[in-house]
Structure 1
Amino acid sequence: MAEHIQVTRALFDEVMVPNYAPAPIIPVRGQGSRVWDQAGREYVDFAGGIAVNALGHCHPALVSALKEQADKLWHLSNVMTNEPALRLAQKLVDSTFAEKVYFANSGAEANEAALKLARRWALDKFGSEKQQIISFGKSFHGRTFFTVTVGGQAAYSDGFGPKPGGIDHAEYNNLDSLKALMSDNTCAVILEPLQGEGGIIPGDAAFLQGVRDLCNQFNALMIYDEVQSGVGRTGKLYAYMHTNVVPDILTTAKSLGGGFPVGAMLTTTAIASHLKVGTHGSTYGGNPLACAVAEAALDTINQPEVLDGVLEREKLFRRELAAINEKHQVFSTVRGQGMLLGAVLNDQFKGRSRDFFLASADQGLFALVAGPDVIRFAPSLVIPEADIIEGMKRFEKAVAQVKQG
């Protein structure tokens, strides 16, 4: 049947809910860090499906894991467990601070589970007064009603009626603003160690340590949202590993599945014990297909040569961006870590990140934005050096195009 449907960008406007405004091109095939559209035009991928395709497109380890599992078992309800889920959970526990794992399908669902767990933990241990959740301005934690309200961008949560209560927002990297909100009624503080959607803003080491200390002082859980920063993205398996700060709960998704939908919440045995049988669940969470692919992704990424290679690639990205900027003077700074970088536009180009994004596509490059003032790069963690050089050539042409108007 499918052959009879003429698939064009115009079809999107006819059959899809208009909450997205996709680019005019429709990609149909990917290999490594290259992608081809319907017309056969080739692009270099510096976007990685928004920090998702951590091993590029059609990585052999992921393809074979998917094909192998597809012939065995696709789905079981959580009335039973399965081998891929247990193997993946064991590997996550072995590689992190965590002792227990809960699987979901996305970062939003992992955060939903983390926030529900924090509330349940506080209720069980301290009573109903302890319910305040503190987040930070410009943060992003997902699109469910709970997570979008916890997220620090009112534009995403306004206009849907009464919001979940007991949620406050402090200013990121400003410890005093957090201190002013915290009390014995705070049950959790949730933050990204490196803010992604908010503009690729790294948490200062002193700030992150200060959050940890305040959480300890007020018996509150510290939740790290590592949906975007996790699984090798910053050159460590998780970004928390760059400092001495260890969260109580960590959420992970995006790169974890290398492009297959999967999310996880990691925590300690003591905290996990509050999600007793029946208190939370997910039909597809931990399904064998997703976990088999995620296991292959984790096995491939969690190797010293891949993690060290991420930092080598960061150097190359920064060098190329500096050369482009020397010539064209469009950025004030480049922020971020590993393969999650943000080129911040200077005053002359403020508010125009989308123009650079569109010009990049014109020149055969997939880039991203992180707000109106930041061009974001989140490519494959194993992107070949030649693809970085070629992509940057195209990006320079895009920059020139925007400058010429």
Structure 2
Amino acid sequence: MSKYESDLLRLLEARGHLHQITDAAALDALAKRKVITGYVGFDPTAPSLHIGNLASIMLLRRLQQSGHRPIVIMGGGTAKVGDPSGKDETRQMMTDERLAGNIASIKGSFERVLRFDESESGAILINNDDWLSKLGYIELLRDVGPHFTINRMLSFDSVKTRLDREQPLSFLEFNYMIMQAYDYLVLARDYDCQLQLGGSDQWGNIVNGIELNRRIDGREVYGFTAPLITRADGAKMGKSVDGAIWLNEEQLPAYDFWQYWRNTDDRDVGRFLRLFTDLPLDEITRLEALEGAEINDAKVILANEVTKMVRGEDAAEGAEITARDTFTEGGAGDDLPTLAVGESGMRLGAVLTDIGFTASNKEAKRKIAEGAVKIDGDTILDAGYVVVAHAGASLKLSLGKKKHGLITR
């Protein structure tokens, strides 16, 4: 039985999103009484977000599902400075053009997961560069600077970690927390925003924004953080041996996205179903109790549900068919990654790297020597083997049991 009365906090708690709340009782009462506006910030440092960001997007989805209004803040301004949270290095500077391109590319991911319309709970997407780029430095120092102490800023984990490791923390990045706090002040004033949500590593930044609102405007606003999600094996969510699991199709094919979820550790199935799908909780309880080979049915449901939400129903259906053709029936599905090698063919080591199965030709040679590479079911041990495909036909390339692709002319 939940101790909360609002649909919002009940839902966030039941789904496993809850880590910390700045004033749980007050937020609970507010969410029960009225429609509240909440936001999450995302820095557009790449053309796509990855599934590590999906946990934060789901916070906004739960907000909207509870009848409240979500705001997506694209950090076009803060991305020019860099967030020190969880980083060991200074972030590289990005041009306005590149940031604008990234924002345009990322926008589609939000449009699939959230509902953007003119209703009371319709989502809004805003770029914080709209106000940060117009903010005068003297104005910022005079109006906001007095409310921050160096002592307190040094106490935050995001800063302490960098300093403890003797990693450089530039003055530019040190200002990030001031800029993010100012975001909350602007959103509270212009959109009556009363809630900031984020991962637990953002707690210090969120608290800064809450205190800035209280000190300058006397306004009570709130903060909510979700636990940082790691897999049962201890690895960080959103990463694989081959890199980030991107939300955009251009950065990662739907089949690879689907397959990541299908390969979920048995111990993570129930938790991920709660966090990343809308399946009823009693159905999730049934699925996570499955044992042996039957747990794979739950993993397929997980992969289908997440892929459907992020990539669309056609992508999920195509990926499942490809997986069934590839693994169950021994064939080669249409959604597998494909590489054209030309009329004269290509050396096997280069094929593995170009199709994205290995990070380098050196790794490709090692995998070939280990006997992990097959073409149409035949193990190839020669790294110099030239792969030649006939016109109108394709070869099935396999690396281990989980990576498969098609080679064409």
TM > 0.5: no
TM-score bracket for the superposition, by shorter chain length: under 0.3
TM-score by length of 1: 0.25
Identify, as 1 or 2, the structure richer in helix.
Answer: 2
Relative contact order higher in (CA < 8 Å, ≥ 6 apart): 1
